[in-house]
Each structure stands twice: as C-alpha cells, then as structure tokens.
Amino acid sequence: MFVGVLALQGSFHEHIAALRKLGVDAIEVRKPEHLDGISGLIIPGGESTTMAKLAEQYKLIPALKEFVASGKPTWGTCAGLIFLANKAIGQKKGGQELLGGLDCIVHRNFFGSQVNSFETELIVPALAAAEGGPPGFRAVFIRAPAILETGPSVEVLADCTIPSIEAQKGNGQFGETVTVTVAVRQGNLLATAFHPELTSDTRWHSFFLNMLKEKENPNRVIPQNESEKQHLRQQIESKDLPIFQETECLRFEI
C-alpha cells in the first residue's frame, strides 16, 4: 500500500516521517502521474495560496479534484483543510482555487497571524475510541484555519474553545469564549485545522490509515489490536515538542 503526500510546499516531510513510523510507504506527489496507484493522499499544512498556485503551475488541480471525487481517502491538515473545503473566507486578494468536496465553510486565518500560533489540549473521543490512548490530543495550531459551518454529512471530531475576538480586544466580557470546529470527517475525507505531524502522537495518521483499510480492506495495513498499537507508542520516547529529530527541518507557514 502506498500513501501519497502532496509535496509542493509545507510540512510534507513530517507527514512522511509519521507514516514511516507506522510502517507505511509514502510517495511525494508533485505531478499528476504521481497520483496513479496510490491508495490515499495527505495534503499537508503550508501556505494555502502558494500551494494552490504551485498546484496550478504543475497542472495538478484537475487530477487532485478527480482523486478526491474518486472516493479515495484524502486528509487535509491546516492548509490542506482549506484546499478541501467547498468554501473559504478570509482569503488573500484574488482568492485561490479549492479542490472542494468537504461540505463546510472554512475561515482561512481564523486564529490570527503567525505570532498567534499556539498549542492546546483537544478532547477527541472518536479518535480515542478508534485508536486507543488518552481522550485528549495535544494539538499544534500554526496560523490556523477554523471550520465555521458544516453540512449534515460531516462528522465533527474535535472542537476548540478560545477567548472571543471581542474579549481579546478588550471589548467583550471577561470569560467570553467562542467554540469552533477543528477536525472533521466526511466519508473519504478527513480534515484537521492543526498539525498532527508535528507531534509524536501518531493516532491521527493511524486513523487515516484505517480509513484506507475501510476502503480497500487490505490484509494488513496498520496494527490490528491494542497491544500492537501500544507497542508502537512505547517506541516513541516522548510526546513533548520538538518531535521529529530525524527530519532535516520543520516547515511552517509564513
């Protein structure tokens, strides 16, 4: 089984490293023909407008749209979430072409600029039920989007509560908060506003690989029982950041 990772820009190296920890081969996707023969695709975090322009330059947009529409599992993280959304607001002048397919409205930079990046603990009951481990997930948000609205076929996997914009400006009441959606699944599509590839917790990657198993029913894609999953988790020394000591560098949005 091969998983493709869109490798135009952004944190594709970190996704590949996470997949390799789970024993899965990954292919860097830069041309339409690279999509042939892969079982699923990850669209990484990065700068969404730049990613879209590069995809247009390499004539990838039609092939990516066809791949998503084919029903093969596709996961977008951060910028990848924006790319998969049916509608995005807060875009740069001129906007960007979206692949679509995910029935939601995304705000491109809901959480603010680069300096507003943060980490927080998310409650992820669906992930914990499927993959084991603790009920929380330490999520890394870097100039992150948020999902403002979802369609009826979209399953919400995680929410995030932050002080409201007015409260942050000093115009709102103390303790005023707003809750937005930051992880969803719709059929073959998975999307997260945060960066699981920048943590040592590989459960989101395992969750995505299980989506491939649902689609293709291979003999063995990932660990099949809790003892095997626990064995993999024990091989990871720490869940603290920074994560990937073996990668050359971390690529963040700018």
Helix/strand/coil percent split, the chain, to 5:
30, 25, 40
Give the Cα separation of 196 and 203 in Å (integer): 9
Give the Cα separation of 80 and 192 in Å (integer): 8
Task: Say which of 13, 34, 195, 205 is annotated catalytic.
Answer: 195
Place of tokens 């002048």: 93
Task: Say which of 14, 47, 197, 253 is annotated catalytic.
Answer: 197
Task: Evaluate whether 216 touches 16 at the Cβ level (below 8 Å).
Answer: no
Q: Would you call 228 a catalytic residue per the annotation?
A: no
Pairing status of strand 189-192 against strand 177-186: antiparallel
Give the Cα separation of 221 and 185 in Å (integer): 20
Burial class of residue 94, CB neighbours in 10 A (0-12, 13-18, 19+): exposed
Please report how many Cα atoms fall inside a 13 Å half-sphere around the Cα of residue 180, on the Cβ side: 23
* Residue 182 φ/ψ region, left for φ over 0, alpha for ψ in the -120 to 50 degree band, beta for the rest: alpha
Pairing status of strand 74-77 against strand 189-192: parallel
Q: Would you call 160 a catalytic residue per the annotation?
A: no
> In this structure, which amino acid lies at residue 88?
A
Q: Would you call 195 a catalytic residue per the annotation?
A: yes
Which of 193, 194, 203 shows the shortest CA–CA distance to 236? 203
Task: Say which of 14, 34, 78, 131 is annotated catalytic.
Answer: 78
Active site residues: 78, 195, 197
